[in-house]
Structure 1
Amino acid sequence: MSFSSIIVIAQAAPAGQPGGGSSTIIMMVLMMVMMYFILIRPQRKKQKEQETLQKALSAGDEVVTIGGAHGVVATVKEKTVVVKFAEGKVEFDRTAIALKKAKADEATLVDDKK
């Protein structure tokens, strides 16, 4: 729905005339529906993907933390993950893992599918 059609709907009946209140209510409902599909739904989808990623972590996965540190998961505990870096190991909450990097085998499979 384009912006100009929303303006036409909003100006269908002036507020002083009968039926003016119903078009205002329709306009408000349309705005709420648009806000849901533009803002709320994509954010929920991204949040669910992040939770799935954090639950699926296993030893040997290459990860990137929220702070940008790259490492390999050494051990996975209930609420934390121990990540091995070049100079040692650090324990993070699972929520501190931003993304899981694709392994070399997975990267070639993705490229072959294109």
Structure 2
Amino acid sequence: MNLLNVFLSLPPQAAEGGNPLLNFAPFILIIVVFYFFMIRPQMKRQKELRKYREALKKGDKVITTGGIYGKVSEVKDAHVIVEIADNVKVKMDKSAIVMDMTDVATNK
């Protein structure tokens, strides 16, 4: 008897049997894994960055999205003024601030 005939001769109850929820279990597991390993950590990082930007104050050393190192000289509602060199100040949006300098190790 051919193997194809064996599979085709299965009774309909055996082919349909089982809990339909078990058919979706792998998809549900994949969604849960994506949430805990990708979505949740990203949301946590965004929340921490938002809190950091709201807590900026004069004198904080920062790095911008463009890679410019500077020190905050003035803070407004939507923007900050960053001093990047002696008497050189740049006005930029708070969303352009990426991180503070306390995490960066000094190479001296």
**What TM-score do you get using the length of structure 1 for normalisation?**
0.72
Distance in 1 of aligned mates of 2:39 and 2:15: 34
Aligned match of 2:17: 18
Instruction: Give the deviation of 1:30 after TM superposition.
Output: 1.2
| Structure 2 unmatched ranges of 5 or more | 1-13
Query: Superposed, which structure 2 residues align to 1:16-95 within 5 Å?
Result: 16-19=15-18, 21-86=20-85, 88-95=88-95
Instruction: Give the deviation of 1:46 after TM superposition.
Output: 0.5
Aligned match of 2:8: none
Instruction: Give the deviation of 1:20 after TM superposition.
Output: 5.6
Aligned match of 1:99: 99
Distance in 2 of aligned mates of 1:85 and 1:27: 52
Q: In terms of mean alpha carbon deviation, does 60-69 or 79-88 score higher?
A: 79-88
Instruction: Give the deviation of 1:56 after TM superposition.
Output: 0.6
Q: Secondary structure at the match of 1:102?
A: helix
Q: Secondary structure at the match of 2:102?
A: coil
Instruction: Give the deviation of 1:101 after TM superposition.
Output: 1.0
Instruction: Give the deviation of 1:102 after TM superposition.
Output: 1.8
Aligned identity (percent) is: 39
Structure 1 segments of 4+ aligned residues over 6 angstroms from their partners: none
| Structure 1 unmatched ranges of 5 or more | 1-14, 108-114
User: How many correspondences in the alignment?
Assistant: 90
Distance in 1 of aligned mates of 2:35 and 2:15: 30
